[in-house]
Amino acid sequence: MFRTFLAIWTGRLVALVSRWLKRGGTSLPGYLALKIDPQLMGRITSRYEKVIIVTGTNGKTTTTNLLASILRAAGLKVVHNSEGANMPAGVATALLARRGEVAVLEVDEGTLGLVTRQVKADMVIITNLLRDQLDRYHELEQLAAAISRALAAIPAATLMLNADDSLVTSLSQVRENVHYFGLARTPWSQATTSEVLEGHICPRCRRPLQFNFYHYSHLGNYYCPQCSYSRPPADYEARELELSSAGARFDLVYPAGKLVLRTPMPGIYNVYNVLAAASAALLLKIDPVTIAWVVATFLPGQGRAETFSLRDKRLTLMLVKNPTGLSVALKTLTAGRGKATYLLAINDLAADGRDVSWLWDADVSPLLQAPYNRIICAGLRAGDMAICLKYQGVKEADLKVIPDQEESVDFLLGEPVDEGLILCTYTNLALYRRILKARGAVSEVTPLPSLSGTP
């Protein structure tokens, strides 16, 4: 017990000093605390009434933050790692902060097993599995196998799985308490797709899957022509989807009824994030009125399609980190938009993934067809991004290679357009936020109203 006590107070002291020095401190306190007591996460979470883990490739941070906001609005004391520090050190840092009734923990899919060895989660939400950071996660089947082993350590946990992802649904085997969320056919569903197909092999018999329709990448309505493997019926299904640049509206049909949800977050990927969080909340028996209210007012911020006003420009900051993420982000950001300047900032540090070959797999056709003024390539791999775009048809005169991030922002601000869109990899995200704020940018993301505003 003394070791645990020492670990907690050492971590809290380091967190206090980090905040005082304005260094963030989302992982260092937990890292040091785990050095003192390696079983710390398990000891702390054993005192919680409920522990929920959110994992997968894309959408973890938004889903985690939205679910935590819903549970707080319902009156629960919630602890969660809101800034996306999802490795064990980041998870431990969040748990050190204060006590709560419910822990909602975003966990990196590659290190899920390190967490589930000691954290006995009550629910695990898996958003999707997409190719990402090959040097860390390797190929998708290896990643799915690692997640399957991690889930085996918590056999009593309820699984909330994306029915539209064949790799995710393959994780339900030999489990009893499994629920699915999914998206019904929409006006934007496609019979074929130009995006990279990743999980397109039947997890059971290894034959190519057939698709009735795609939503994006390999997410859609699939079946195997060789065996009986197919998309399971969704217990929580989004229907009658309406998408616009201002957000989305859909009916969430669930076993006990129907809930109309409206979100200001753009893009079909955010529909999935909302669907995952709202489905989990309904399963936890949260009041549907509270869920709908939080969804209608929630904006993710922190570079997840976060918008800023700066001088005479409106800027959007978006995290991209894999081919599917970049493809879907471009499709969403270019839809119906006038002439803008795009800034693509690519790094290859450890947190980004050292291998940037994924740039060549991204479908950049939405950008090529958009009325862009100029495309700025920045970051440590600015040259790779520029070559990739040149070979896909962008004229050299329309490209500007500026590796330095500060200089790239200054160039963007000098462009004769009202809109700038900054798409960047993980280690560029916080940097560009800081650069924008240092130049006076004001985030248009507003905090959620207080609980007293709940209808």
Which member of 355, 398, 404, 410 is catalytic? 355
Alpha-carbon span 284 to 123, nearest angstrom: 10
Residue 366, burial from CB neighbour count under 10 angstroms (0-12, 13-18, 19+): middle
Residues 6+ apart with CB under 8 A from 210: 222, 223, 224, 225
Mean pLDDT by 10 residues, the chain (455 residues): 84 79 74 89 92 94 95 94 82 83 92 94 96 78 92 95 96 88 94 79 92 93 94 97 90 96 91 97 97 93 80 91 89 86 94 89 88 92 95 91 96 93 92 92 61 30
> What span, in angstroms and rounded, lies between the C-alpha atoms of 86 and 54?
10
User: Hey, what domains does the chain have and what are their CATH numbers?
Assistant: 1-297 (3.40.1190.10), 310-443 (3.90.190.20)
CB burial class (10 A; 0-12, 13-18, 19+) of residue 1? exposed
377 is known to lie in a ligand binding site? no
pLDDT at position 25 is: 65
pTM here is 0.87
- H or E stretch at 258: strand 257-263
Whether the Cβ atoms of residue 362 and residue 196 lie closer than 8 Å to each other: yes
Q: What integer pLDDT is reported at residue 454 of this predicted model? A: 29
Exposed, middle or buried: residue 21 (CB in 10 Å: 0-12, 13-18, 19+)? exposed
Cβ–Cβ < 8 Å for 83, 302: yes
What is the pLDDT at residue 30? Answer: 85
Closest CA to 36 of 5, 7, 15, 2: 7
Please name the residue that has the structure tokens 């996306």: 84
Cα–Cα dist 422/299, whole Å: 18
355 is catalytic: yes
Across 42-66, b (16+ Cβ under 10 Å) vs e yields ebbbeebebbbbbbbbbbbbbbbbb
Exposure string for 167-196, b = 16+ CB within 10 A, e = fewer: bbbbbbeeeeeebbbbbbebeebeeebebb
Query: What DSSP line would sit under 179-207, residue for residue?
Result: EEEEE---TT-BSS--SPP-S-B-TTT-P
To the question of whether residue 205 is assigned a binding role by annotation, the answer is yes
Give the pLDDT score at 363: 87
DSSP string, 2-58: HHHHHHHHHHHHHHHHHHHTT---SSHHHHHHHHH-TTHHHHHHTTSSEEEEEESSS
Note whether 126 and 159 are within 8 A (CB). yes
Q: Can you say how many angstroms the Cα of residue 168 is from the centroid of all Cα atoms in its chain?
A: 15
**Comparing C-alpha atoms, which of 262, 392, 378 is closest to residue 317?**
378
